């Protein structure tokens, strides 16, 4: 079966390259790398935040700090230079405001109820989890709903799109960021050791490269490498949720319910072009589909691909509500755990730093709500 999946993924990549361009084929390939890495390392933000808040285990948080340190150390100088190996590059820098704070909080609640974040939803759905496929569909619906309602929230107060290097300079921004990452890493270890008497490791002796599982440290390295590849290939950092309202708007238009072109959200000059391009010509769409394909390949290689649509009613309700909250939150906050939190912070964007606190508060509220849907508070 693995040979068939490899052939399928290779054929899709060739089709992207021939029908669109070579960069689209490369986007698909990088997405496959992300999917393999996320699945084999089980690198999920929702589960990691749940372990942190419910059990006091901070291994996932420390892995996030390592990833942020690697990406920030590479991204900030490259973005300041404006190029990477001759290719123009830019960061993901967005305004931080009320919508950012509300969106991050709502997204955090959705992470725990829906069972995953943006990257986690894609890779687990691609790996055959039927519940997460329902979360993904609801995610797209929520993002579309937020785009449709843009006239109510687009004018909420916000600061300009500031970045730390613009405010304090490149090297002070880099030093300040590294100091925060190191402090969070050290405090997490100290608190975990005080509570449990030991610290969960980021590496172990175990699975192989192809079949997995991978230690978190391998996941950090893989995500860092593919994030750098994304910066070079697409000229900007890794993003996930930007196509979700695009997919939903295409469905709304195809069904004749409304013309999304007249929604204030799509009238923004930074978005309008995407609405009129073919969906499969969208770079992030190709990468997201590749991510799901990479997770499928990883599940098959690991011998764990066993798709099932059997979902308990409580889980289904959690997936629908959680997915809607994820979609609304991601659009309001101009990003998710990847494009706002990871790529935003690595770009030096203040909106990335503003995302994490309300995001964690939302995860805490979502954790309290999980039993309502028959979901455990830990694990």
Q: Evaluate whether 243 touches 249 at the Cβ level (below 8 Å).
A: no
What is the per-residue pLDDT for 38?
94
Residue 378 forms part of a structural domain: no
Enumerate residue ranges in the chain where pLDDT < 50.
Answer: none
Residue 13 belongs to domain spanning: 2-373
Q: Which structure tokens are listed for 262?
A: 């007249």
> What per-residue confidence (pLDDT) applies to 340?
93
Q: Quick one: pLDDT at residue 352?
A: 94
pLDDT at 319: 94
Which residues, in sequence order, are bridge partners of residue 158? Answer: 97
User: What sign does the CA torsion over 367, 370, 376, 379 have?
Assistant: negative
Q: Is residue 215 part of a domain?
A: yes
Q: Taking the mean position of all CA atoms in its chain, how far away is CA 110? A: 13
Backbone angles phi, psi at 97, to 5 degrees: -155, -160
Task: For residue 379, tell me if it sits in a domain.
Answer: no
Residue 299 lies in a domain: yes
pLDDT for res 378:
63
pLDDT value of residue 204: 57
User: Tell me, what's the pLDDT at 206?
Assistant: 56
In a domain, 367, yes or no: yes
Closest CA to 225 of 10, 23, 37, 8: 37
Is there a contact between 336 and 108 (Cβ–Cβ < 8 Å)?
no
Question: From CA 132, how far away is CA 37, in angstroms rounded?
Answer: 18
Specify the pTM. 0.94
Looking at the domain assignment, is residue 48 inside a domain? Answer: yes
**Domain presence at residue 115:** yes
Residue 241 is predicted with a pLDDT of 94
What pLDDT is attached to residue 366? 95
* Cβ-based neighbour number of residue 14 at 10 Å: 12
Give the Cα separation of 125 and 260 in Å (integer): 27
Number of domains in the chain: 1
Quick check: bond before 247 cis, omega within 30?
A: no
């Amino acid at each position: 079966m693995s040979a068939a999946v490899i052939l399928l993924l290779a054929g899709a990549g060739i089709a992207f390259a021939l029908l669109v361009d070579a960069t689209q084929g490369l986007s698909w390939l990088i997405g496959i790398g992300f999917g393999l890495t996320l699945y084999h390392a089980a690198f999920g933000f929702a589960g990691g935040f749940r372990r942190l808040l419910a059990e006091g285990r901070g291994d996932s948080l420390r892995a996030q700090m390592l990833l942020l340190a690697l990406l920030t150390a590479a991204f900030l100088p490259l973005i300041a230079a404006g190029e990477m190996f001759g290719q123009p590059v830019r960061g993901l820098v967005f305004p931080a405001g009320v919508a950012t704070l509300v969106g991050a909080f709502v997204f955090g609640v959705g992470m725990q109820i829906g069972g995953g974040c943006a990257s986690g939803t894609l890779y687990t759905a691609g790996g055959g989890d039927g519940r997460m496929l329902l979360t993904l569909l609801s995610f797209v619906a929520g993002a579309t709903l937020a785009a449709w309602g843009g006239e109510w929230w687009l004018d909420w107060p916000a600061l300009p799109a500031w970045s730390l290097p613009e405010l304090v300079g490149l090297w002070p921004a880099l030093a300040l960021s590294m100091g925060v990452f190191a402090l969070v890493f050290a405090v997490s270890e100290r608190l975990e050791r005080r509570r449990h008497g030991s610290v969960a490791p980021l590496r172990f002796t175990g699975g192989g490269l192809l079949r997995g599982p991978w230690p978190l440290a391998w996941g950090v390295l893989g995500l860092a490498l593919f994030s750098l590849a994304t910066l070079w290939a697409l000229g900007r950092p890794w993003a996930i949720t930007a196509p979700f309202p695009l997919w939903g708007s295409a469905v709304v238009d195809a069904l004749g319910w409304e013309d999304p072109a007249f929604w204030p959200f799509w009238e923004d000059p930074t978005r309008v072009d995407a609405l009129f391009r073919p969906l499969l010509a969208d770079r992030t769409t190709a990468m997201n589909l590749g991510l799901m394909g990479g997770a499928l390949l990883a599940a098959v290689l690991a011998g764990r691909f066993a798709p099932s649509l059997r979902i308990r009613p409580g889980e289904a309700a959690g997936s629908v509500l959680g997915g809607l909250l994820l979609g609304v939150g991601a659009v309001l906050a101009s990003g998710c755990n990847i494009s706002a939190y990871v790529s935003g912070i690595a770009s030096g964007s203040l909106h990335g730093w503003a995302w994490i606190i309300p995001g964690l508060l939302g995860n805490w509220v979502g954790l309290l709500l999980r039993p309502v849907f028959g979901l455990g508070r830990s694990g």
